[in-house]
Amino acid sequence: MIQKKTAQTNGSHPARSRNNTERKRAQEALRESEESYRTLFERTNNPILAIDAEGNYVACNDAALRFLECTRDEVLAKNILDFVPSGKDKQVLREHGPLWEHGGTVETEYYVNGRVKILELTITPTMWQGKQVVLGVGKDITQRKQAEEALRRSEATYREIFNAANDGILVLDIETGEIVDANATFLNVFGYTTEEARGLRVGDFSSGTPAYAQQNALRLIRKAARGQPQRFEWLAKSRDGRLMWIDVALKPTTIAGQDRVLAIGRDLTERKQAEEALEKAREELEARVERQMEQGNPYGLTFRELTVLHQVAAGKADKEIGLELGISPLTASKHLTNILGKMGAASRTEAGVRALREGLLD
């Protein structure tokens, strides 16, 4: 009987032993899980911070220490507001408030040793050592933000210079000749808005004649893109159909990583009109002189000397005579000296008066 009892007593041990074994396995699994978590927590390159409801740091990994440039004890003695730039504490609290309950992503500025650093935090509410916290897994985006800000400032400066230029400036697509961008001067001269101008091709604001049409424009644009800067006069057309002459320079450039051609244009319409008026006046003057040459003149004046005498009689100075006749003021002065000598006149006034009185000029 005693032996049987002993056997019955020993017979209850397997169940108890299995329970102990399972418990040990669970404890071992938990320990391994915690070790794996701790390894992941510490060795990841992403800063990780655990923060309680009061905003106090309760845990942080090595990456967070490097980001904050503090020791672990220093971080765990701080509140999130201790790293907030002056005057931004209320903003941070507004941003973080809803995240404490629902989680989400936020960009947070940290004031670290006199510098602003930026962390993109993905926040998840969780439990930490029996305490409700939020776990923030971060990504240091300081350099990216600095690059974006530098690009923004560069773009603002570029835009300011671009629109302040007195010349019209276009950024053109090399393959299509379409306008990628246009400055304020171009828009004002041609009568387009920015939205209307973008997407137009060069041919759309050209006169349309063969020499000033899309095909020829593309040829010039592509030559410029190959490193052969182009300079020419172009007969353009405004939005309301007005024709105008533009002095155009094409140069290759790179904008936002894209190869483009820069077209810089200056309105020549008034200069062209002045040149045409001057040419017409010159032709009329030369026609009058030719008629007088056919009739002969008593002083043996040459064709050019007679044209100069016409200008002298009209009260023009040497510089004005040179401009109208397309000669230098010095050449005009030499012609005048010859005229005075041939006519025996003491002054330009006397030469002009005598020429009119004697019918030498019509």
Place of tokens 């005498």: 309
List, in sequence order, the alpha helices (H) in the chain.
2-11, 13-43, 62-68, 72-76, 89-102, 142-164, 184-190, 194-197, 214-225, 269-295, 303-313, 318-325, 329-343, 348-357
pLDDT at residue number 133: 87
Q: How far is CA 213 from CA 61, 230, 248, in A?
A: 66, 16, 14
Which tens digit of pLDDT belongs to each residue from 78-123? 988 888 877 776 676 666 667 677 788 888 888 888 888 988 888 8
Which tens digit of pLDDT belongs to each residue from 178-200? 999 999 999 999 999 999 999 89
Which tens digit of pLDDT belongs to each residue from 236-264? 999 999 999 999 999 999 987 899 999 99
Show Cβ contacts of residue 164 under 8 Å, excluding neighbours closer than 6 positions.
184
Which tens digit of pLDDT belongs to each residue from 52-88? 888 899 988 999 999 999 999 999 999 888 888 777 7
Regarding predicted confidence, which is higher, 283 or 150?
150
Give residue 13's pLDDT band: very low, low, confident or very high (50, 70, 90).
low
* Global pTM value: 0.48
Q: Residue 214 is inside which H or E element, if any?
A: helix 214-225
- Whether the per-residue pLDDT at 1 is higher than 50: the answer is no
pLDDT at residue number 168: 93
pLDDT at residue number 169: 94
Structure tokens given for 309: 């005498």
pLDDT at residue number 7: 46
Q: What percent of the chain has pLDDT above 70?
A: 83
Q: What is the mean pLDDT of residues 161-182?
A: 92
